[in-house]
Each structure stands twice: as structure tokens, then as C-alpha cells.
Structure 1
Amino acid sequence: PEPTTTRVPALDFTQPVPESEEVEMDYFSDALFIGDSRTDGLRLYSGIQGADFYCYKGLTIFEVDERKIVELNGSTYSVVEALEKGPQYAKIYISLGVNELGYYNDDAYHQAFSEFLDTVKTLQPDAIIYLENLVPVNPQKCAEYKQPYYVNNDRVAAYNAIYPQLATEHQVALLDVASALSDENGILPADATADGVHFTKAWYQKWLAYLMNHTVSPEEYEAGQTAAEGA
């Protein structure tokens, strides 16, 4: 008889990554995180170990090829330069968008993010790319701490409508961090944030727990790419 082969399920890039069995911390030993001050908070306060971080306070999608924030071998590079000159990673997590909320040109944001995803896939061809959507803010805390007027959940929702399009267009894994870290009203709880935007230690830990329970195998990811290309 013919040997039976188990068919690997193809990842559906039109949907967020489903919950999976929790991984061990060493899952992040070949992972890179790209982001702004929220991602830096994940690095500092979540307890994550083993990962590399290309992140900086205020970083935007429009600066990833220009703003020099990554230290490598005694020199400072932009994120794009570091992706080219630095190590090759098995997983790359991307979380950007808070600092772009006041840009008010969603098409330009979509286009800039699209170009960046193309660049990441070209420079890091073996990586599973995880695209994280934008966690809402807490309106009362934002007002209390005088956050800019454009840092609001209407703008967050506008960008969160773009991420599924990007994931589908570029066949990257979408992570619905927004739902995981929001309350029943779809906002960041007041006790989860110090200033309306950034998280408390417990919420950074909750973010990490979500990442550890929502992973994709290289086989699923590759099968999804093949299926999408054949569609």
C-alpha cells in the first residue's frame, strides 16, 4: 500500500492566525521584533527572552529606510539596512502605526507598509512574517495625559482595516493583538495603561502570552503561500 502522508494545512492569510499550542520561550531565539515604543516596552517588561529588537520611540513606517536606529558591529543603520546587513531570522514581528495616526492619508500608509513588506520578504526570504494590528488606546487616559488629538480609536480602526488587506496582498501572518488586549468595549482598559497608549507590565506580559499562543509552522506558512499563488 502507498504510504499515507499528512497534508499540511495551508495558512489562510485573509484571517488572523488562530490560537495554537503554547510555544516555549526559545521559540524567539531566532526572532526579530520591529516596532516603536510599544515594542520597546515588550522588550523591557514582558519577560521575553532570546529575541532581537529593531525598535525605537517614535519610529514610523515612513522612516524604516532612513532613520538610523539599529546598532550592528559598531555602526548604526536604518531598519532596512539592518535587515540587509544583519542576521537572517526565522520569524519577524512587525508592529507599527501609533505614531502615524495623525498622518490622515490612509492610502499613503497602505502603500508605505506594502513597500516595506515587499522589502522584508526580499531581504529575509526564509522568515515567517507576523504583522501585528494596532491595539486601541484608552480615551480617558489619553485626555488626562494630553496625548495628541489624533491618537484616538477612530484612527486606530482605520488602520486596523488596512492590516488584513496587507496580510492578504503580501501573504504574511496577521496577528489580532488588538482583540487580545482590548476590553469588551473594544478599547484599552484604563488599568492596562499608564498614559492611554503604552501598557502596564501585566499587559506587556499578556501581549507576550498571546504571541506564544498564536504561532504558525514554516510548513503551514509555505503551504499558504503556495495556495495563495495558485488561487
Structure 2
Amino acid sequence: MWVKQAISWFLVFMILFSSASLLREPAGSTEDWENPYIDVTQDLWSYQYITELNKAGVLPSSEKFQGQEEETRGNLVLYLYNMDQGVFKDRKKSRDKKKEKAAPNFTDVTKDSPYYDAVCWAYQNGLVGGTTETTFAPEHSLTREQVCTVVARFAALEEISLLQVVEPDQFKDSLYIDEYARSGVTACQMAGIVKGYDNGFFQPDNTLTREECAAVVYRVMTAADMEIPEGSAVVDLTEGAYDSLYDNYQDITFTALVPETEEGPVTFFDQAVFIGDSISMTLEAYCGASGALGGAKFLCAGSMSPTNMLTGKILPEYPKGSGQKPAIGDSVAATGAKVVYVMLGMDNIAYGVERATKDYLTILNQIIEKNPGVQIVVQSVTPMADSSTSYSEKLNNEQINAFNETMKAYCQDNRWYYVNVAEAFKDEKGFLKKEYCSDYGSMGMHFTYEGAKIWVQYLKTHIPQDLL
């Protein structure tokens, strides 16, 4: 089986990622072609895709390509329209005529828009719909599953035969692909147009950058000129062709609780941001002084809880020293973090576990909404010391434990990671160990630098392996 897959991937690399000689010669000579993009240099992994598409008249010329920006709905349909009108113009003459829909009436794509003709063409040929009955949202970003759906429909429209280079394979998160996109994703995976991440996930809601989208479009264009070896299997581009495969897929076990592993690389935390209240501020100070978590960023504030974050009463300052306190989702976006560690709840638990978890979930979902594709790691709330003057009927270790167990269950349901930091600090009776407590005899919940050191070591030995 592995030999067959190795040969298949060799074929796809030789064919789909080959040089421009596989392309149709675009209208007009390219002898005098000059790269119009000052930010597209030969050391970019996407250089060939972008420049060949520009030569073919698929990508419009501009001073900058801005390949790291998120690709948009308007741009994708413009690329495919340009391909249909130019590179594939001969295909239009031979393919069966299909009854087109009436032109859309999108209020945000008027006749003077550079996207107008492309959007009308894509809508009428069933490649895309509007975001509402009256809007197309050309500037909205695209997810991986959306791009697969559109390009599979485009290949079907152009009657392109896509060679099957791999067997259909379940990703760890295949069952989280929206039903409308399942066959499109599978078709693109089988044709080698897209693949999953090294950790086995597809991440259907991750957005594509412009250079990633260019790679996908290029692979479809080169596939059109491919000679299909006799007897070879081709991908079925019929709408819904592979939906039935998903009926047999099993939910691949996801365990929210992160187990102990060997110490991971500190560079992992360069992509992380830590959100927390005054308890986490000690971790922030320790890491700021020691660099123990590399380039990790922190969004912490004293007495911050999910409830007062939602009301805007207390929010972390970002950037530090600016006096600005944006909504938490915006602050996370500004850090550029890909992994978000959160420890909140100590200032909410006294209101009851139900309310505390409800507001916590709202905050986490706001972060995700503003930062699609970000990975959430919830840290358990740490215990209180036996001498704590804040210990009460409403706020105590039993309530903290109940809150932590509830949040762990929510993490399992939402496929978030859960790191049980609290276990590193409990004594035999479940209290915060005296040697790690900086305010023993008063509040009894904050940490010494020695405690922060233990905390760091725990994080390094409890990194979610799927994220490495």
C-alpha cells in the first residue's frame, strides 16, 4: 500500500508541480514578460505558481502580490473567470451548453466593480452563491473547504479530468467538514490539489493565503493539460459523489486532556499568547525576566474574569504601555498568535460554576471568531492555600475542582486542549503548596517565582503533540 502511495505522490509532484512547459501558451508572446510583483522573488516557495499564473493572464498584475494576505472570494472567482475566458477558451467551444441562472443582483458588486463579470459568471455557472440573497462579500476571506468546493465545481464545469493520485483518506477532523464541502474536499485530496497537515488534520475552517490559493489554482490549470495514462482512475467531480464515504468514517478519538511527554522545544511558545488574571501575571513577570517560554506573549490583568471582560470593565492593555484595551479577540489577532493559552475563572467561580463556564465559553468563542484556525489551550484554575482569607462557601477548592471538570468536558466537546496545571501545585489535601504561594496567610492564591518555574516546566512537558 505504501509503495502505491509513494508512486502516486511521485506522479503528482512530477505532473502537477512541474514547470510552465505543461501550460497552454497564453494569448500573445511571453518573451518580453517581466515579473510585475516586487514582493514575489525567486526564493519564495510559491514563486512558480504566482508567476506562471500571471504569465497566463490568470492573476492580474499589480505592484505587490501580498502573498501572505488572506485570499478573498472576489479574487478567487476572478482568477477562475480569467482562466475560463483565456487559457481555457477552447474548452468553452466544445463543452455542453448548460442553462445558466439569471444574473445576480448583489448590492456590493455593482457593474463598475472589477469583480462584476467574474461574479456573474461564477454565480450563473453554479460555482458560488452569495453570502445573503443580496450580497456577495467579495472581500471576505476563504476557508480551505470553500476553496476545494469552488475549484472542484470549476473543474467539473471545464470538463477537466483529474487523475486520481491517492486513495480517499479520512482526516482526523473529516467529520467537521461542512456537508456541502465534503465531496469537494475529497476530490481535491484524491487529485493531489490539496492535502492535510502533517498532524493528520485538514482544518477545513483555516483561511488560505493568497500564495496558497495561487498554488491550488495553478494545480488545477496544469491538470487540464495532463495526459491521463490508459486505465488510470480519475476523480469523480459529480456534486456529492463522495458524500457516502463520510457515513463510514468514525470520529477519531480526540482527548482534550494533554498527557505528560518529554520536554518540548521552547520555540513552540513563540506562537503562543497567554490570557489570564493576576495569577498569570506572576508567570508573565517570570517569563519576561528569564525568557523561559521564549517569545510567548501575555494578555493579563488583575481581577480579570470572563464576566468583566464581556462588559468591558477589565481588559488587558495591548500593546503594553499604549493605554489601549481592545476587545480580547482583537488583542489576540494583534499578537499574531496561533495558540491561545487561557486561565480564567478564579474571579468568577463565586458566582456559580454554571455562570462562570457560560461566560468563559463566550470569551473563547469570541477569540475563535476573530481568529479562525487558532488553537485553544485551557489551563485549569490552580488551588487556594489552606490559609486563604478568601476561602468561603462560594469560593473554595471544591468549587474550583467542579469548575475545572466542567471546563475539561467543554474542551472535549469543542476539541480544545486542556492542560491540568493545577495538579503540579496541590499538596496531599488538595491545597496550594505553601512553598509556591506568594501570599500565604492572606489571599493564598498567587505564586512565587519558584512556583512560576514549576509552572513553566509543566507547560514544556505538556505541549499538545498535534500542535508541534
Answering whether residue 361 of structure 2 is matched by residue 111 of structure 1, we say no
- Structure 1 gaps, min length 5: 222-231
Q: TM-score, normalised by structure 1?
A: 0.81
Partner in structure 1 of residue 421 of structure 2: 177
Q: Report the AA paired with residue 326 of structure 2.
A: Y
Partner letter of residue 302 of structure 2? Answer: K
Aligned counterpart for 2:328 among listed residues 53, 56, 79: 79
Secondary structure at the residue paired with 1:70? coil
Q: Which residue of 1 aligns with 2:344?
A: 96
Q: Deviations over 1:32-86 (max 9, x none)?
A: 00000111110112533311111001000112241343223943323233235x1
Structure-2 separation of matches of 1:197 and 1:190? 10
Paired positions, count? 213
Indicate the RMSD between aligned Cα atoms, in angstroms: 2.6
Secondary structure at the counterpart of residue 92 of structure 1: strand
Q: Following the alignment from structure 1 to structure 2, what is the Cα–Cα distance between the partners of residues 148 and 179?
A: 19
Residues in 2 aligned to 1:7 and 1:76: alpha-carbon distance in whole angstroms:
35
Q: What is the one-letter code of the residue matched to 1:83? A: V
SS across alignment from 2:336: coil
> Within 2, Cα distance between the matches of 1:96 and 1:157?
13
Unaligned runs of 5+ in 2: 7-168, 170-197, 202-251
| Cα separation, partners in 2 of 1:182 and 1:90, compared to 1, 3 Å | same
* Residues 11 and 201 of structure 1, relative CA distance in 2, 3 Å threshold: farther
Residue of structure 1 in register with 2:4 after alignment: 2
Identity %: 22
- Structure-2 separation of matches of 1:70 and 1:27: 24
For residues 400 and 354 of structure 2, the distance between their equivalents in structure 1, rounded to whole angstroms, comes to 15
* Distance in 2 (alpha carbons) for counterparts of 1:194 and 1:11: 40
Choose from 63, 68, 71 the match for 2:308: 63
Residue 97 of structure 1 deviates from its aligned partner by 1.1
Measure, in 2, the Cα distance between the counterparts of 1:72 and 1:133: 26
Secondary structure at the aligned position of 2:261 is classed as coil
Which segments of structure 1 move beyond 6 Å, counting only runs of 4 or more? 4-7
Q: Which residue of structure 2 aligns with residue 156 of structure 1?
A: 400
Match of 1:17 among 258, 265, 270: 258
Q: CA deviation at 1:112?
A: 1.2
Q: Give 1:189 deviation, angstroms.
A: 1.1
Task: In structure 2, give the amino acid aligned to 1:147.
Answer: S
How far has the Cα of 1:166 moved from its partner?
1.6
Preserved contact between residue 345 and residue 360 of structure 2 (Cα < 8 Å): no
Choose which of 354, 359, 382 in structure 2 pairs with 1:135. Answer: 382
- What TM-score, normalized to structure 2? 0.42
Displacement of 1:148: 5.4
CA contact (8 A) 2:284 2:298 kept: yes
Classify the secondary structure of the residue corresponding to 1:2.
helix
Letter in 2 for 1:208: V
Q: What is the alpha-carbon distance in structure 1 between the residues aligned to residue 253 and residue 366 of structure 2? A: 21
> C-alpha separation between the residues in 1 aligned to 2:401 and 2:429?
13
